Amino acid sequence: LMNLSGLSVASAAEIYNLRPEDIYLVHDDLDKALGKVAIKLGGSARGHNGVRSCISALHSNEMTRLRVGIGRP
């Protein structure tokens, strides 16, 4: 379901009258060490399907992202 999360995010944005730049996405990041975090404004989905879904549903990539490292197995 995470791969389709943009539908829920876009619906909530509409209900609460939020612009993409008002939204903070928190998502996992395989390329970051376990427990490391990074914050980023805008940019591409970098292969993350949940972020890609949000960008597509909101027609914008201007969300702030909090990337939480989970490391590679």
Q: pLDDT grade, residue 2 (50/70/90)?
A: confident
Structure confidence by residue, pLDDT tens digits, 13-68: 999 999 999 999 999 999 999 999 999 999 999 999 999 999 999 999 999 999 99
pLDDT of residue 73: 83
pLDDT of residue 56: 97
* 8 Å CB contact between 5 and 12: no
DSSP letters along 19-70, please? -GGG-EEEEEETTS-TT-EEEEES---TT-HHHHHHHHHHT----EEEEEE-
pLDDT of residue 58: 97
* Assessment of whether the complete model's pTM goes beyond 0.85: yes
